[in-house]
Structure 1
Amino acid sequence: MGLFLLLAGLLLGLISTAWAVNCPFPCRCTWIVDSLYADCSRRGLQTYPNFEGIPVEHLDLSGNLFSEFPTQYADIDSLIYLDLSNNHIATVGARSLIGFGSLITLKLANNSIMSWEDLSPNEAFKYTPKLKRLNLQGNQLGNFGSGESFELLMSLSLTELDISSCGITKLGGDQLINQLPNLEQLSLGNNKLETLANLPSHSLRFLDLSNCSIQYLTVIFLDSVGSLEVLNLSRNTQLNLGDPITEGPIFATSLRKLDLSYCNLDSIELSGLPQLTEVRLRGNLLRELNSGTFGNNSLLEVLDLSENVLRLIGQDAFSNLKRLKELNLAFNEIARLDRNFIRNNDVLVELNLSRNVLRKLTKIVSNSVRTINMSWCEITSIESSALSSLSAILRLDLSNNLISDIPSFMRSETLKELNLGNCRISTIRNNTFRDFPELADLHLNGNRLTSPIPPLYFRGNKFLDQLWMGDNPWICDCHNPLFVEFYDYLTSKPAKIKDKNHLRCAAPAIFYGKLWEFACADVWIVNARSSSGGEKAWSIIMITLIGIGALILAYACLQKHLKKRKIRQNDREYSENDEELQRIRHLNSRILLEDATPSIHQNQEISLLPSYEDALRMPKLERPVKSMLDLSGPDRARNSRKLRRSQTHPDGDGSQSDMEEGLQLDSRQRFRSAEMLSNRDKERRAQYGPYRRTGYMEYNQSGSRRLSIEDSRFPAAHLKSQNLQSAEQIGNFQSYENSPYTKRKPKIAEIPPFKRVNMMAESVEFLTDPEYEDLGSKPGSPFAKRKPKPPLPPPNAMKVNAQVYTVQHSPVIELDPAIEDYFSAAKKQPSSSTIASDFQELLEPELTSLPDDNRSSSSGGGTDHDLERGRRKKSKNSASRRVSGSFTADRAADNSSSDSEHRAQVHRPMRETLF
C-alpha cells in the first residue's frame, strides 16, 4: 500500500510538472521519471513546432509531412532522442547536425533519401560525438561500396546501424566497416544481396541477414567477424550451410545464437558451432533426429524444431544436451515417443508436443519437466501410469483430443493444472480425480457431460478453486436435488465456476440454450419459499434480533441527539445570561460614573447634609412625646400652617407661639432622622429571597428605600462584585458607631470626598439644656467660654459657609426632654469608635457671642428679626422633608442671610453612595 501511494504521488508530481510545461500545439508533453517526452507524431504537421526554452529530451516527429531536416533544434542542449521517420526528408546536409552535441538516437527511417550522397555520410555525423543509434531503414540508398570517399559512412561513436530494406544489392564490407570502429549491431535484412562480402570487424556482435537471398554461409565470412555472437539467417530459402569449395562444415567459436528458420534445410550439421546456446530451426524440412545431430552442442538451452516433418526421434537424440531447458517439437508428424527420450535432460522444464499424431498418452520419464503440452495430438486413450514417472509435473494440457474416458487409477502428487477441455468425456467417476491432491485448476468444458457431478467426487481436491464446466449438453432437471447441490457447489462463494455464462441447458427443449439460473429460477425460488419451518423460525428470530438492535441503535442515537441539543441550549442560555450580566454591569458602571460626577446643584445639596454626630448635637425636645405621630402626624401640617400664618401676620402675640413652633419643628427634624434610621433597621431585618438580584429603587410607606426584587434575574453576588455599597450594608445600621456614614470608605465608590457642615460649637445641648437656659450670651455662657480648636485644614478641603442661627428667648413651660441626653457636664472618655475619624475641623473665626433666642423680643431686630427667623425655619423644614427625615443645608438661608450673621468654614464629610 505504501509503495502504491508512493507511485501515485510520483505520477501526480510528474503530471503536475508536465502541466507546468508550455507544450506547443498540437504536441503532447509528459514527464517520465526525470525526462520530458514530447509526442508530435502523426499530426500531419508541415512546419516544425517551437520548443524554444523547453527542456525536451525525447522528441517524436514521425508520421508528418516534413521535407527538411530541423536544424532549428540544434540549440536544445537536452535533446538526446529525435525520431523523424515516415516523413519526406530528402537530404541531410553536411552541416545539418551542427549543434546536436547531446543527440544519442536519430531515426530517419522511411524517408525520401535516394542515395548515400544525399545523406552526406562522411561529413554530417562528425558533429554528433554522442550518436550511438542511427536508423536508415526504408530509404533507397542503393549499393554501397563504389569506392567514392563521399559515400563512406564515418562516425566514431556509432554502435547500432540499421540499413535494412534499403535496396542494397552489393555491399563492400571493407568500406562500410572501416570508418565505424565501434559498430556492434548491423541490420542488413530485406536487401537482395547476391553475394556476402567480408565484414572485417572485431566489434560487431549482432548481424541480421534475414531475407537476403544468401545462398552460402562461408567459413571466410565467419572468420572476418570473429566477435559475432548473434547471427540471423532466417528466410534465406536457398541457404546452404558449408563451404561450397571445400564442402566442409562451418566453424565459429564465438557464435551463441543462430536463427535458421524457414531456410528449407533438410539436414543440419552444427558440430562446428560448439558455443551455441540457442538454435531456431523452425519451418524447415528436417525428418529425423539422432544422437549425432547435436552431438557437439552440449551448451544448448533452447531448441526449436517446430514446423518440420519429424517422424522419428531417436532415444539418444537429446542425451548430450545436459543444459537443455526448452524443447519445442510442435507441428511435426511424431506418432510414437520413447519413454526415455528426455530422461537425461535434468534441467528440462518445458516440453511442447502439440499438433503431432500421438494416438496414446504413454509413460514419459523425467524428473525435471513441469509443463507438457500435448494438445491437438488425436489422443484417444491414456495409460493409467502415464504420469507416474513425471515427479515434477505441474501443468498438463490434453485439450482438443479424442479422450472419452479417464482411467481410474491415474494419479499425480504434484499436478496442479489439468486441461481436458474440448474432448469427448461423458462420465466422471468418484475416483477420477481422487488421486490428484494438489489439483487446483480443472478444465472440463466442451465435453459431453449431461448429468450433474456430485460434489463428493471432489472431496479429495482440497485446493480446487477453478472449474470450467461450460459448453456441455447439460440436462437441466431443476427438481433434482443433486442438480441443485451441484449448482450450489459451483456458485457458492468463493465461486469455483469460471465460465458461468457458458453453463447452458441442452434439454429439455423448453430450456434449450438457457442459462441454468434462468431455466430453473422459478422452481428454485418456490422451493426457497417453501423451506422448512425451522429455517423460517430462525429467519424470524434473526430478523427480530436485527430489528431490536436497530431500535436500540436508533434510541441511542436519539438520546445522543437530545443530549447534544440540551448542551447547545445550555450554552446558548449561558451566553445570553452572560450578555445580560455584562449589560447590567455596564449599566451599574454608568450609574456609578454619573453619581461620582454630580452636578453643582447636587454637590450643593449633598454637601449640606448633616452627619450623624451633628444630628445628635441638634437641640432636643424639653418634654416627652407619646409617639412619632406627635412629630410626623397631622399636627405637623397644622403647625406648618400656623408658621405660615405667623410669617404673614407678624403682629400680635404670635411671636411667642412662633418661637415655640420653631423649637417643635427642630425637634421633629431630629425625630425625622431617628425615624429614617429605624426604617433602615427594618429594611435590614427584611427577608429577601436567596437569589436577590439587582433592580430599581422604591420607597415604602415609611419613606425608607429598598431594592425592588421584582423581575430580577441575577444573584446579589454579581452586584457585590462591583465596588458598590449594597442596600444590606445600609440596612445593617444598629447604632451610631455602626453607621454607614462613620465607616465609609471613599475608595470603594472612588468618589472624591465631600465635606459636611459641622458647627464649631462644642455641643448644641448647651443651647437647650435647662441648666444653661438663663445664661444666653452672658459672659458665663458656654458660647462665651468656648474657644474653638485650631486644627490644620487639609489642602483639598472644600470651604462652605454655615449659617449660625440665633434664637430669641421667650418664657416657655419647662418640659422633660423627649430624647435621652447623650451629653452630660462631665467630660466623656475618648471612645475607640471611628465615628469622627473621618472628620476634621477647619480653623474658623472666633465666635465672640451668640444671640440668645430665649431672650425677650426687646433685643435688636424686633419684629423684623422674628419674620426673618420664621422664613429661615420654613425653608429649613421644607428641605428636611425632601430628604425623608435627613437634614439638608439651607440654600435659601445662604442666599438671604444678612451680613451681620457670622459664618464658619467647616469640612464636608464624604457621603457614601449606593448607586
Structure 2
Amino acid sequence: MGRSLELVLLLLQLGSLLPSTLAVNCPWPCRCTWIVDSLYADCSRRDLQTYPDFNNVPVEHLDLSGNQFNEFPTQYADIDSLIYMDLSNNQISALDGKAFIGFTSLRTLLLANNSIARWIDLSPSESFKYTPSLKRLSLSGNHLGSFGSEEMYQQLHSQSLTELEISSCGISSVGGDLLVNQLPNLERLTLSNNKLVQLAALPSRSLRMLDLSNCSIQRLSSPFLDSLPNLETLNLSRNTQLQFGVLDEDLILAYELRRLDVSYCNLDQIDLSGLPVLTEVRLRGNLLRVVDNETFANNTMLEVLDLSQNVLRLIGQDAFSNLRRLKELNLAFNEIARLDRNFIRNNDVLVELNLSRNVLQKLTRIVSNSLRTINMSWCEITSIESSSLSSLSAIQKLDLSNNLISDIPSNMRSETLQQLSLANCRLSTVRNNTFREFPELADLHLNGNRLTSPIPPLYFRGNKFLDQLWLGDNPWICDCHNALFVEFYDFLTTKPVKIKDRNHLRCAAPAIFYGKLWEYACSDVWMVNARSSSSGEKAWGIIMLTLLLLGGMILGYACMQKFLKKRKRNQNHREYAENDDELRRIRDLNDRILLEEATPSLQQAQEISLLPSYEDALRMPKLERPVKSMVDLSGSNRPQSRKLRRSQTQADGDASQSEGEDGLQLDTCQRFRSVEMLSNRDKERTAQYGPRRRTGYMEYNQSGSRRFSIEDSRFPAAHLKTQNLQSAEQIGNFQSYENSPYTKRRPKIAEIPPFKRINMMGASVEFLTDPEYDDVSSKPGSPFAKRRPKLPAPPTMKVSAQVYTMQQQHEQQNPATGQLDPAIEDYFSSTQKAASSSTIASDFQELLAPELTSLPDENRSNASTSDTEQDLERGKRKKRKNSASARRVSGSFSAATAAESTSSDSERNVQVHKPMRETLF
C-alpha cells in the first residue's frame, strides 16, 4: 500500500512538470491534469446533473463520481482514448443493452453505490459484449441480491473481464457455473460484506483471488476450495463464527493457496497442514494460546507470519524452527513474559521481529545472525542485560521506548547498532561509557525521560556518526551561568545541528524559566557573557575589520586608478580617431577643391565649347562689315545710316579729323563696355602660373574643339608684363609660338583683351598680335584673304585700326596731335581725359613708329586716296610680311635686323619692341 501511494505521488509530481504546450480546454467545472502522458479529468463531487462536454479532449481517466447523474453517458462513446471512467456514488438505476456501444477502449468501469436494484437492470447478458477491452468492473453498493442465478438473462457475460467487485450488494447465495461459462477470464472476485448464508461450489479455473471477508461464513468446505484449483489468495477475515480445519473431516486442502488471511475470526486453534505452499499467513486478532513445533510443521514455505493480538503466553523453543524462509514475525499484543534465547536461532533469513506490547520485563539475550530490527516497546522492561545485544551480530535498529528502563548497563555494546530509541523511559543520568560502545550510532532518542543535567559532549566522543539527537520533554535545569550547560547547548546547535526536537527543549527549573525554551531563558545571560568574555576576540575582530577595510580601500583605489587610466586611454584613442577622421575629411576636401579647380566647371566648359576649331572657323561666314564690339555685332536695331568715321591718322581736313576723333572715341567705348572683356582681363591679371607656363598644354572640350588651358596659357598676365620686357634677342629666341596650333586661329571677338587696338576683321592670331599686319590686304597667306562672301556685299564701312607707339605717349596730353585714350577710361564721358602718368609698358606693348597711320582696307573706299597709292601700300606690306615671316622662321632677330627689314623708301629705321602676342581663349 505504501509503495503504491509513493508511486501515485511520483506520478503527480511528474505530471506537474509537464510543459504548458500540453494544456487542453478542460470543460467547466472539471479539472484536467497530465500525469506522465495521460490526461486525468476530475469532475467528482460537483453536484452535476448534465455531463460535461469533452469534445476534442483526449481524456483517458474520467472521474464523474459524487454527482447526480441518472443515465449512463453514451455521448462519451466517441472518445477513443477513454480507458477509465468512474461513475460511482451517482443515481444511475439501469443500463441499456446498447449503452456500451463505442466504448472499445474502456478498461475500468466503476458503478459502485448507484441505484441498481436487480441484475436485469444492467442487461448483463448483452451490454458488456460491446466492451472488448473491459478488465475491471465494480458494482459494489448496489442491491443485486444474488450471484450465479440459474436464469441466463441475469448472468453477467464478459469475455474480457478479469476483476469483479460486488461487495456490499446484499448477496445471500453464491454458486453455479457462472465463472466457468460466462466469465472465463475472471481472476479476482470480491464478495466481501455480503450475508452469504449459503456458499455452494463456484468452479473456476481462472480465479486466483477470492475475498470473502465479513460475510458471516461459519464453515468452509473442502469441495468449495476443490472447485478453485488455481486459487492463490483467500481472505476469510472477520468471519467471527468460522471453523477452519478443526475437525479431521473439515481439513482444508489447497495445494496452490499461498496467502491466507483468517484475522479476527475468533479461532482458538488452527490446522494448516493441508496448505503446504503457504507463504503468508495472517492470524491476527484470534484466540490462539499456544504455538509449538506442530502448529506450522507442514508450512515450510512461510515468509510472513502474523500472530499479533492473540493470547500467546509461551513460545516454544522449536516453534518456528521449521520455518527456514521466515522473514517477518509479528508477536505483538500478546502475553509473552519470557523468551527462549534460541527461539529464532534457526531462522537464518529473519529480518524483522516485533515483540511490542508484551510483558517481558527484562531484555535478555537473543541469538540471531540475521535479525536487523527488534521492536520491544511497551514491554514493561525494567532492566537490560549487558550481553543482550552481543548475539545479535546484524542488529541495526532497537526500539526500547515506553518501558521502565532507568539505567543502561556500561558494558552493553554493539558494532552494528545505528538507531536506539530510549524515549519515554525513566533515564535520569547518562554515564561517560553509556554509548561509547556503539560506534555506528547515528540516531539516539532520549526524549521523554528524567534528564535534568546537561550531558558533557565528551560522552559522545566515540559516536562519530551521531547526527540526530532527541532530548525534548525532559525536566532540564537551565543554569545559564554553567559552562557545561553552555558547552552542551553549543554541541547540540552547532552546524550541522544535531538536536531534532529543538522546540521541545524546555526548562523545568528554576521557576522563572519554567516552560521556556533554552534560547529564551538564557538569552540575556549568554549575550552579556558573550560581550564580556569576547573582549579579546572583539579586539582581534576590530583589527581584522580594520585590515579588511584598509585592504578594501587599497583595492578600491587601485581599481579607480586602473579605471581612470583606462578611461584616459580610451579618450586618447577616441580623440586620435576623431582627429584622424577630421584630417581625412580636410584632405578629401582639399583634394576635391583641387580637382574642381583643375577641372573646368560646366559653365566654363559650355563657354569653351563655344569656341570654334580651326576647321569650324574656315566654314564660318565672314563678317560683311567690321564691328567694334559685341554690342555692335548683336545690335540689330542699330541705325544703318550711321557712318563709321575714318581714323584720325587720315590726312584730311579738320572735318575729317574731328570725325576720326569721334570714331576713335566710339571705338574705345564700345570695345571696353564688354563685361566679358573686363572679366577676362581680371582673370588674366589674377591667374597663377606654373613652371610650364611658357609651353602650356592642349585641352579638348566636349565639342571636340581645341583650346589652351587658362591655368597654363603660354603668355603671362598683364601685371607680369614688366617682368617679361626682355631684350629683342631673347624674345626672338622664343620657339613655341610657331608650333602653336592656334597660330592661324581666328579668336572670338569677345575674348580679345581690351588693350589690343586691332581691326575687328583680323583673320589670325598673327594679325591680331603683330602691328605690322594692319591691313587685311597685306596678308596674302590668310585663309580669309581670297574668301568672298556669297551674299551681296553690305554697304561699305570705315574701320580704323589704331596702334600705340612710345612717342605717342607724350602726345596723349595734346588732343590735336591725334593721341589715343588710355586703356581704361570713363566710358560715359564725352570729354577727352588726360593721359595717365603711370607706366603703360606694364599694360601695353609699344611701337616707336611715329609716322604709322591707319591704312584703309582694300574693301573700303577712300576719296582722299587714289588707286595708285593703294597699290603701293600693298606692295610695302607684302614685303614687310615676307621679311617678318623669314625672321619668325629663323627664330632669332635683333634690333639691327629689325631695322634692315624695313622698306627701302624714306621711312626712318625705328627700334621695334616686338609685342608679346597674347590672346585669351
C-alpha distance in 1 between matches for 2:325 and 2:115: 49
TM (norm. structure 1) is 0.70
Residue identity in the other structure for 1:871: A
Instruction: Describe the SS at the equivalent of 1:29.
Output: strand
Is the Cα–Cα contact under 8 Å of residues 359 and 380 in structure 1 kept in the other structure? yes
Instruction: Describe the SS at the equivalent of 2:691.
Output: helix
Instruction: Describe the SS at the equivalent of 1:550.
Output: helix
Q: Is the alpha carbon distance of 1:386 and 1:448 closer, same or farther for their aligned partners in structure 2, counting shifts above 3 Å?
A: same
Is the Cα–Cα contact under 8 Å of residues 387 and 412 in structure 1 kept in the other structure? yes
Moved more, 585-594 or 155-164: 585-594
Instruction: Describe the SS at the equivalent of 1:93.
Output: coil
Instruction: Describe the SS at the equivalent of 1:396.
Output: strand
2:145 to 129, 142, 145: 142
1:539 match? 541
1:387 match? 389
Q: Choose 1 or 2 for highest CA Rg.
A: 2
2:468 to 462, 466, 470: 466
Structure 2 matches for 1:729-744, cutoff 5 A? 737=691
Instruction: Describe the SS at the equivalent of 2:295.
Output: coil
Shift of 1:410: 0.7
C-alpha distance in 1 between matches for 2:736 and 2:178: 153
Listed one character per residue, the Cα deviations across residues 260-289 of structure 1 (whole Å, up to 9, x for unaligned) are 000000001101101000000000000110
Listed one character per residue, the Cα deviations across residues 479-505 of structure 1 (whole Å, up to 9, x for unaligned) are 111111111111111111111111111
Indicate the RMSD between aligned Cα atoms, in angstroms. Answer: 4.8
Q: Is the alpha carbon distance of 1:874 and 1:786 closer, same or farther for their aligned partners in structure 2, counting shifts above 3 Å?
A: farther
Shift of 1:53: 1.6
Shift of 1:351: 0.4
C-alpha distance in 1 between matches for 2:496 and 2:844: 106
2:778 match? none
Shift of 1:470: 1.1
Is the Cα–Cα contact under 8 Å of residues 799 and 907 in structure 1 kept in the other structure? no
C-alpha distance in 2 between matches for 1:142 and 1:275: 35
Residue identity in the other structure for 1:186: L
1:518 match? 520
Q: Is the alpha carbon distance of 1:490 and 1:789 closer, same or farther for their aligned partners in structure 2, counting shifts above 3 Å?
A: closer
Structure 2 matches for 1:388-787, cutoff 5 A? 388-531=390-533, 533-559=535-561, 562=564, 566=568, 598=601, 600=603, 737=691, 755-756=709-710
Q: Is the alpha carbon distance of 1:257 and 1:807 closer, same or farther for their aligned partners in structure 2, counting shifts above 3 Å?
A: closer
Instruction: Describe the SS at the equivalent of 2:173.
Output: coil
Runs of 5+ in structure 1 lacking a partner?
1-5, 609-649, 652-671, 678-729, 774-780, 809-842, 876-884, 890-896, 910-915
Structure 2 matches for 1:302-381, cutoff 5 A? 302-381=304-383
Residue identity in the other structure for 1:262: Y
1:219 to 199, 222, 226: 222
Q: Is the alpha carbon distance of 1:602 and 1:270 closer, same or farther for their aligned partners in structure 2, counting shifts above 3 Å?
A: closer
Residue identity in the other structure for 1:123: E
Instruction: Describe the SS at the equivalent of 2:198.
Output: coil
**Are residues 1:112 and 2:112 paired?**
no
Instruction: Describe the SS at the equivalent of 1:126.
Output: helix
2:295 to 293, 296, 303: 293
C-alpha distance in 1 between matches for 2:783 and 2:193: 145
Aligned residues: 720
Q: Is the alpha carbon distance of 1:77 and 1:798 closer, same or farther for their aligned partners in structure 2, counting shifts above 3 Å?
A: farther
1:791 to 741, 744, 759: 741
Instruction: Describe the SS at the equivalent of 1:67.
Output: coil
Shift of 1:228: 0.3
C-alpha distance in 2 between matches for 1:277 and 1:259: 11
C-alpha distance in 2 between matches for 1:850 and 1:182: 145
Is the Cα–Cα contact under 8 Å of residues 693 and 714 in structure 2 kept in the other structure? no
1:94 to 89, 94, 97: 97
Q: Is the alpha carbon distance of 1:560 and 1:193 closer, same or farther for their aligned partners in structure 2, counting shifts above 3 Å?
A: farther
Residue identity in the other structure for 1:450: T
Shift of 1:57: 1.5
1:14 match? 18
Instruction: Describe the SS at the equivalent of 1:495.
Output: coil
Is the Cα–Cα contact under 8 Å of residues 295 and 319 in structure 2 kept in the other structure? yes
2:236 match? 233
1:170 to 168, 173, 179: 173
TM (norm. structure 2) is 0.69
Shift of 1:365: 0.5
Listed one character per residue, the Cα deviations across residues 94-140 of structure 1 (whole Å, up to 9, x for unaligned) are 00001111111111111111100100000000111111111111111
Is the Cα–Cα contact under 8 Å of residues 282 and 305 in structure 1 kept in the other structure? yes
Residue identity in the other structure for 2:21: T
Is the Cα–Cα contact under 8 Å of residues 17 and 31 in structure 1 kept in the other structure? no
Shift of 1:534: 3.6
Structure 2 matches for 1:25-40, cutoff 5 A? 25-40=28-43
Shift of 1:567: 6.5
2:76 match? 73
Shift of 1:440: 1.0
C-alpha distance in 2 between matches for 1:794 and 1:188: 141
**Are residues 1:870 and 2:818 paired?**
no
C-alpha distance in 1 between matches for 2:74 and 2:817: 133
Residue identity in the other structure for 1:105: T
C-alpha distance in 2 between matches for 1:495 and 1:358: 36
Shift of 1:549: 3.3
Instruction: Describe the SS at the equivalent of 2:547.
Output: helix
Q: Is the alpha carbon distance of 1:406 and 1:765 closer, same or farther for their aligned partners in structure 2, counting shifts above 3 Å?
A: closer
1:152 match? 155
Is the Cα–Cα contact under 8 Å of residues 695 and 736 in structure 2 kept in the other structure? no
Runs of 5+ in structure 2 lacking a partner?
1-9, 612-659, 662-681, 759-780, 787-799, 828-840, 846-853, 859-880, 882-914
Is the Cα–Cα contact under 8 Å of residues 798 and 908 in structure 1 kept in the other structure? no
Q: Equivalent pairs: percent with the same residue?
A: 64
C-alpha distance in 2 between matches for 1:574 and 1:193: 107
Residue identity in the other structure for 2:20: S
Residue identity in the other structure for 1:472: N
Is the Cα–Cα contact under 8 Å of residues 755 and 823 in structure 2 kept in the other structure? no
Is the Cα–Cα contact under 8 Å of residues 696 and 708 in structure 2 kept in the other structure? no
Is the Cα–Cα contact under 8 Å of residues 144 and 169 in structure 2 kept in the other structure? yes
1:126 match? 129
Shift of 1:178: 2.1
Instruction: Describe the SS at the equivalent of 1:241.
Output: coil
Q: Is the alpha carbon distance of 1:888 and 1:63 closer, same or farther for their aligned partners in structure 2, counting shifts above 3 Å?
A: farther
